[in-house]
Amino acid sequence: MPPTFTHEFNNASFKGKSFLETGVFIDGKFADGSDKTTIDVINPTTGKVLCEVAEATPKDVDLAVKAAQKAFDTVWGLKAPADRRGIVMNKLADLMEAHLDELAALEALDNGKPFSWAKMTDVNPAIGTIRYFAGWADKIQGKQIPSGEEKLAYTRHEPMGVVGQIIPWNFPLLMLTWKIGPALATGNTIVMKCSEFTPLTALFMCRLSVQAGFPPGVFNLLVGYGETVGAAISSHMDIQKVAFTGSTIVGRKITEAAAKSNLKSVTLELGGKSPNIIFDDCEMEQATNWATFGIFWNQGQVCCAGTRVFVHAKIYDEFLQKFTEKIKNLKVGDPFDNANYQGAQVSQQQYDVPSTVFYSEHFSIDSFCMLQRIMGYIQSGKSEGATCHIGGERHGTEGYFIQPTIFTDCKPDMKIVREEIFGPVGVVIKFDDDEDVIRQANDTTYGLASAIFSQDLNRAINTANRLHAGTVWINSINTADFRVPFGGYKQSGIGRESGEYALNNYTNIKAVHVNLGTKMI
Amino acid sequence: MAQPVKITIPSSGKEISVPTGLFINNEFVPSVDSQETLDAINPATEEVICRVVAASAKDIDVAVAAARKALETTWGKNVDGFERSRLINKLADLIERDQQELAEIETLNNGKPVKIARDFDIGDSVQCLRYYAGWADKITGQSLEVDNKAKIAFTRHDPIGVCGQIIPWNYPIQMWAWKVAPALACGCTIVMKPSELTPLTALKLSELVKEAGFPPGVLNTVPSLGPVGGAALSEHQNVDKVAFTGSTITGRKIMEAASKSNLKKACLHTIPVVISLELGGKSPHLIFESADLDQAANWAALGILYNTGQDCTAGSRVYVQDTIYDKFVALLVSKAKELVVGDGFDPKTTAGPVVSKAQYDRVYGYIESGKKEGAKVILGGEKRSGKGFFIDPTIFTDIRPNMKIVKEEIFGPVLSVGKFKTEEEAISLANDTTYGLGAGLQSSDANQCMRVSTALEAGTVWVNQYNVLNNNVPFGGKHQSGIGRELGSYALEEYTSVKAVHWNFGEKADWPLF
């Protein structure tokens, strides 16, 4: 049996003892991985090992799929009354609420993000997401379609079956809920792979799922590597659908694997290089606050981060000066010190290991595989001739802390302008023409999000209509909401998460034609 | 007055505390100007259980003012759907926690068996609240592309405002949940008038509303007589909507009062009262020759005898195809005989007494009239001796379309059985009514099921089932059976008003126009 991990928190933010089982979670039970191997979980603030968890391998994927299929065929899906699904999900949310601080503390410990952010922007919306989708469970409505007197036609929105879900390490718990919320509400059963970097809150949720009353096999969790478990899920013949959040490179591999195996349906929520357009009529103080949050929240490990800040020439100097002041005031350090805005990057790999070591032709070890890591990007910006306006160095001597970094004097073809860095690094670019900034904003292979700051709502709405992005924020940024759809244009993804739209990712539509009198001669 | 009283549950001797005051601003209070009380009576023993404060017209004013204040400060547009959802779910949890106690009070005051009150009435109410809790953060409008370069429009579904809700005595808790759940989900505030015959559970539920954490004034409970409290709510200038379940006669009065106050208000340019009504029925139930007769007889028996026939969708006119008539009627009589009418606290009882002396006399009035008009009693029809408003299942045959028992709603366990030859005749008999609430048909011919279900004029049609409702399926009447729909997503429309926002971001106005 895998050991139980216990941790005593004793800091200003949270005091208390937490424990969680570290096994693979299949059919409602924790067990050792099939190959009896383990994965080290690292504390990103120290670089030291926190604990070991059971490593899942493709054999475990097979076991989990069998358990999920059995649950789907007997106790879940079309076999469970819809309101029952909602009741169990609400119960799960109640349990999460009862463990709110503990979940936030585990997230901060494992991911390196500040506890206060974890509580406010991870755990709270995670609870909201589960409650929101619990409410949908008994509202999955088909249509009755008039089709002449002699025919009754209606649609049923049925669950797909066993779905595979692969989630990242930047918002471990929140992304778990974004995935399981709509899948469970619509009656699917789940084989989930969480990131090997941040498995703690997901493992904790396994225990809560049992307490909430989910039948065994409805939710199965595996901690494993992308190239083994991720690949096995994507190519599995009995998984009907795979949903992935992570890098565009891996998203492409998953789509390929789905195409080569059973043509399972795929939804992807991938990377971005989102523009944040600051017009000359913006409210300056607010625009700088939001722009700061847009880049440095969650250490920049945000797929919709507003990392290309376009500032109108008329206000460029003033904006840059104010923005710089804000950034200088950001404190970086211990996630459990409430004064800190920014914690540690999640891993050594993200921090600085050259990508060639980890990026293989198959699956990346890390779902957010970038061709070049954060310190590498900073280096590239400097060597390509951009001005490192602020930051640009490691923070401290221990752990994966990086100074909030801004580049100016950038050219459109620089790597730091074109590629997703996924760290606390942004570029500020001057513009003087509305048409031109829209063109530049859209000049990217990504299309996840965008933001506009302007007091002229005519200008704002006009610009919003013309941006190629799945989300446009006007006078704010990075404020996703579980009631509102989220997803990408272009290479930022396929499908939409959150809101009613997310239900479409997890249902098959069956049209039933009932002949009431047409005779065949 | 207004202090809680202890009432005793006869089966167990258990004492339960029941509030007796008006529930306004999360407090139980006496009337501001009246000493009137209402007697809550146990219909199985005809004894008074306790007395509760009867709201006067002035009390309605106080309750409406409380609801208005809550709407403008702590509820309505001041609270997001997520929080409304959380509170409604909490309320459902509390009702589930107290289901046994609530069921016992319901049985004491309404007469229905405890098991039915707990497992059906309350079980369904809990589910109804949870269902609408789920809608609370999903009240979405539309965004409408008008002109991509110049104009966008969007709709907001705002809460309609202060709602007067007037509920009946046949399902005191369940009708409360049907009304309260969608109104709260949409952000409305409520002045609830339970029936003067069965006020106890509404008061007990009010305690749970407070415990769940709803802000004061969001839900107010004002037991009162219809001509006093009901009338005051219907004609109130500051009530935005009235929802009523009850008789067609009263429904008509409410509409009149609302339209009169409307005219007044129209002059004053204030908000007109919107009404939804869920009224009576004389619902037909057609038995075709291809039906599974045993199942059909079960559904037909349940259709008229469930809740002692005190059901607005009761299948009180059963029409049977001539080829199977004798066989079916014999089967139906044997099923009806299996009903055990008695005290709701006796675990063997499957149907309780009717709710009141007035109802008892009214039902027997119809039975007498049926006999007088020449229909043939093949089961029941005789009074029992002793206390309690018990009525045994009564079945008439040899009916004619113009008899009172065929035309009018009896609201008791009294069934008229007729005969038809063809499908056309069955449809025409079924639709020959001023009502249009429910209708049922039993048939194993799929094409016939579709043809007949399409042809029946009713808000609900059951195919090979009867009287079973689901919280996600709309319910309401055609014709004189009502206006609007309860349950399902449709009920949300009753409690929201749609605001269209036109937003110009590119079009310049020329003036003068030409």
CATH of the domain at B108: 3.40.605.10
3-state DSSP call for residue B308?
helix
What DSSP element (H or E) covers B59? helix B57-73
Show the tokens assigned to B68: 């208005």
Same domain flag for B66 and B199: yes
Shortest distance between the Cα of B126 and any Cα of chain A, in A, equals 11
Show the tokens assigned to A480: 């996703």
Long-range contacts formed by A384-393: CB under 8 A, 24+ apart: A384/A411, A384/A414, A384/A415, A384/A416, A385/A409, A385/A411, A385/A414, A386/A410, A386/A411, A386/A414, A386/A416, A386/A427, A389/A320, A389/A324, A389/A428, A390/A324, A390/A327, A390/A328, A391/A327, A391/A424, A391/A425
Q: Which residues contact A40 (CB under 8 A, 6 or more apart)?
A: A49, A51, A52
Q: Which of B181, B155, B153, B179 is nearest to B166 (CA)?
A: B179
Q: Is B86 part of the contact surface with chain A (CB cutoff 8 Å)? A: yes
Q: Which residues of B touch A134 (CB under 8 A)?
A: 134
Helix axis angle, A82-98 to A200-212, nearest 10°: 130
Same domain flag for B261 and B294: no
Write b or e for each residue in A41-54: b if 16 or more Cβ atoms lie within 10 A of its Cβ, otherwise e: bbbbbeeeebbebb
> What residues of chain A score a pLDDT lower than 50?
355-367, 369-371
Same domain flag for B271 and B229: yes
- CB of A271 within 8 A of CB of A420? yes
Same domain flag for B351 and B225: no
The residue type at A483: R
Shortest distance between the Cα of A83 and any Cα of chain B, in A, equals 8
Report all structural domains of chain A as residue ranges with CATH numbers, in order of start.
14-270+499-508 (3.40.605.10), 275-490 (3.40.309.10)
Same domain flag for B99 and B190: yes
B residues 468-497 lying closer than 8 A (beta carbon) to A: 471-472, 489
Please report whether residue B97 resides in a domain. Answer: yes
Contact: B471, A138; criterion CB under 8 Å:
yes
Q: Catalytic one among A158, A269, A419, A497?
A: A269
Comparing CB atoms, the residue among A138, A461, A516 nearest residue B134 is A138
Same domain flag for B391 and B262: no
Q: Which of A341, A327, A344 is nearest to A423 (CA)?
A: A344
The pLDDT assigned to A353 comes to: 60
Q: Which residues contact B406 (CB under 8 A, 6 or more apart)?
A: B282, B317, B399, B400, B416, B418
Q: Which residues of A touch B130 (CB under 8 A)?
A: 83, 86-87, 90
Same domain flag for B238 and B350: no
Please report whether residue B162 resides in a domain. Answer: yes
Q: In B141-171, where does DSSP find H-type helix? A: none
The burial of A6, by beta-carbon neighbours within 10 Å (0-12 exposed, 13-18 middle, 19 or more buried), is given as: exposed
Same domain flag for B493 and B428: no
ipTM over 0.90: no
Q: Which residues of A touch B89 (CB under 8 A)?
A: 90, 131
Same domain flag for B236 and B322: no
The pLDDT assigned to B301 comes to: 98
The pLDDT assigned to B267 comes to: 25
Tell me the pLDDT tens digit for each residue of B324-357: 999 999 999 999 999 999 999 999 999 999 999 9
Based on the residue annotation, tell me whether B278 is a catalytic residue of this protein. Answer: yes
The pLDDT assigned to B508 comes to: 84
Q: In A329-413, where does DSSP find H-type helix? A: 348-351, 355-358, 374-383
Same domain flag for B86 and B99: yes
The pLDDT assigned to A257 comes to: 94
Please report whether residue B508 resides in a domain. Answer: no
How far is residue A100 from each of residues A185, A475, B104, B212, measured CA to CA in Å? 22, 30, 38, 21
Please report whether residue B363 resides in a domain. Answer: yes
Please report whether residue B130 resides in a domain. Answer: yes
Q: Cα separation of B384 and A317, whole Å? A: 95
Q: Cα separation of B164 and B276, whole Å? A: 10
Same domain flag for B95 and B170: yes
Structural domains in chain B (count): 2
The pLDDT assigned to A358 comes to: 38
Please report whether residue B42 resides in a domain. Answer: no
Tell me the pLDDT tens digit for each residue of A68-103: 999 999 999 999 999 999 999 999 999 999 999 999
Q: Which residues of B touch A86 (CB under 8 A)?
A: 130, 134
The pLDDT assigned to A444 comes to: 96
Q: Which residues of B touch A137 (CB under 8 A)?
A: 134
Please report whether residue B376 resides in a domain. Answer: yes
Residue B498 phi/psi, 5-degree rounding, is: -90, 125
Which residue from A minimizes the CA distance to B446? A516
Max Cα-Cα span within chain A: 85
Q: Is B148 part of the contact surface with chain A (CB cutoff 8 Å)? A: yes
Show the tokens assigned to B471: 């919280």
Q: For A118-161, where are the E strands, in sequence order?
A: 144-146, 151-159
Contact: A138, B489; criterion CB under 8 Å:
no
CATH number at residue B337: 3.40.309.10
The residue type at B413: P
Q: Is B378 part of the contact surface with chain A (CB cutoff 8 Å)? A: no
Q: Cα separation of B288 and B290, whole Å? A: 6
Show the tokens assigned to A479: 């404020």
Residues shown for chain B: 514
- CB of B429 within 8 A of CB of B439? no
> What residues of chain B score a pLDDT lower than 50?
262-272
Same domain flag for B256 and B126: yes
Please report whether residue B513 resides in a domain. Answer: no
The pLDDT assigned to A367 comes to: 45
Comparing CB atoms, the residue among B131, B152, B489 nearest residue A83 is B131
Comparing CB atoms, the residue among B89, B130, B446 nearest residue A83 is B130
Comparing CB atoms, the residue among B131, B136, B451 nearest residue A138 is B131
Which residue from B minimizes the CA distance to A515? B447
Q: Which residues of A touch B85 (CB under 8 A)?
A: 131, 135
Domain that holds residue B368: 284-463
Residue A337 phi/psi, 5-degree rounding, is: -95, 115
Q: Which of B168, B498, B199, B247 is nearest to B255 (CA)?
A: B247
Comparing CB atoms, the residue among A90, A462, A514 nearest residue B505 is A462
